[in-house]
Amino acid sequence: MTTLLAFLFTLAILIIFHEFGHYWVARRAGVKVLRFSVGFGQVIAKRTDRHGTEWALSAIPLGGYVKMLDERESEVPAGQLDQAFNRKSLGARAAIVAAGPLANFLLAILLFWSLFLIGVPILKPIIGEPTTGSPAQLAGIRGGETITRVSGEPVESWQDLHWLTLKQVLRGDTLRIESVDRRGSITEHTLAVPTLNAELEQAPLKALGLVRYLPPLDPVLGQLSPDGVATKAGMRAGDRIVAIDGITMATWEQVVDIVRRSPERPLRLSVVQAGQTREVTLIPAAARDGQIEIGRIGAGPHIDPALLAELHGTASYGPLEAMSRALSRTWELSAFSLEMLGRMITGQASLKNLSGPLTIADYAGQSAQSGVASFIAFLALVSVSLGVLNLLPVPLLDGGHLLYYFAEFLTGRPVSERIQEIGQKIGMGLLGLLMFFALFNDLNRLIFQ
């Protein structure tokens, strides 16, 4: 229910903001707006305002539209010809069409600004021990170091580290990482970036061996999955695992290592539960982690909040600095989205990076459960993506109409209806193909991950 409500709220906010951009500029340009609809298809609720605009809620919530007075769609009374969209100047029509995507960018800027103003929860960029044989280990990075720069750009949080690393990896650049160890010594490491693949695109830090630092944890159970292997075996939160198959367990990491290496293989656990030692036999369930099979028992460690307090922080800024960062973040995300689309079209990036409504709904639910700041950041990210998508020069999208207007500007006459008709068919085909790949990726993630 949380996922569904978060998804519907996300759609409502993005659609209303986008369509209101078209509506507001159309009204400023003197165009009569006949209908403002959230959703497509059958109208399920509506009201008409004093300007004659029908405000409607339609049955299919995956989009919306603003219907304007236009001689190409229906007969226009002589007294209203000056309010028809098609009678307006080229500049006015282009402004009305561009206003939708620009409204999405404006929404993203406002959301990011509010985040930077009130404070963004951050995870400090402290590195755990790199995975064996990884580029990070080979470059000499050691656990406990704090990353301060990536290829010359400052790093303030784990989120910054992920973003900057992803940008450098996709560009095929050598990764230069500057870090500070516990003694305050500054070191620059040069990482050899592997050949670009799906894993590197989707989880660059993990692929490079850069993992988050966690303080040593006792082998004590914390949160358990209700239908997990551990719960079914009678284990409870607070249980201490003292041995597995006769091997003494001193840390949670030892427990994880053995469980991961034992999918569908019986394990004998010595467990202290409510002061009593008991023997438990369980069989870790098999799961996929990339290309390998691992074991899982549906249990996490007990973590003392005081241990993690020093790893977290809050980044907040004054109004002007917050706005500067909001503008910069929106621009960077827009440019990055275009770059990724270009790479996917040319085959330089995997089509697995495409996400559809199912993944968006999943992320909406996860971010809503993580807190207000996470949900606001998610809304801003999707708003940028929607703005970029709508500006693509594909017929049926706002960018396609702007392409027609650019051609009209060059030739001095509107694009013929025949060409527009052909363009619509091409646009429908391209968008249908895009949706197919996005839904395929969604289902693949849900079924196989």
Please tell me the distance from the alpha carbon of residue 302 to that of residue 447, in angstroms, as a whole number: 29
- Collapsing DSSP to helix, strand or coil, 376 comes out as helix
Of 251, 192, 199, the residue nearest 220 (C-alpha): 251
Cβ-based burial of 154 (10 A; exposed 0-12, middle 13-18, buried ≥19): exposed
Report phi then psi at 239, rounded to 5.
-65, 140
- Collapsing DSSP to helix, strand or coil, 39 comes out as strand
Cα dihedral angle (317, 322, 328, 332), rounded to 10 degrees? 70
Rg for the chain, CA atoms, rounded: 27
Sheet holding 175-180, edge to edge: 153-154, 146-150, 175-180, 186-191
Question: Is 287 in contact with 293 (CB distance < 8 Å)?
Answer: yes
Question: Is 70 in contact with 31 (CB distance < 8 Å)?
Answer: no
Question: Is 105 in contact with 330 (CB distance < 8 Å)?
Answer: yes
Report phi then psi at 304, rounded to 5.
-70, 120
Question: Is 236 in contact with 273 (CB distance < 8 Å)?
Answer: yes
- Cα(first)–Cα(last) distance of the chain, in Å? 22
Which are the contacts of 286, defined by CB distance < 8 A and separation ≥ 6?
263, 264, 293, 294, 295, 296
Name the residues annotated as catalytic.
19
Please tell me the distance from the alpha carbon of residue 85 to that of residue 82, in angstroms, as a whole number: 8
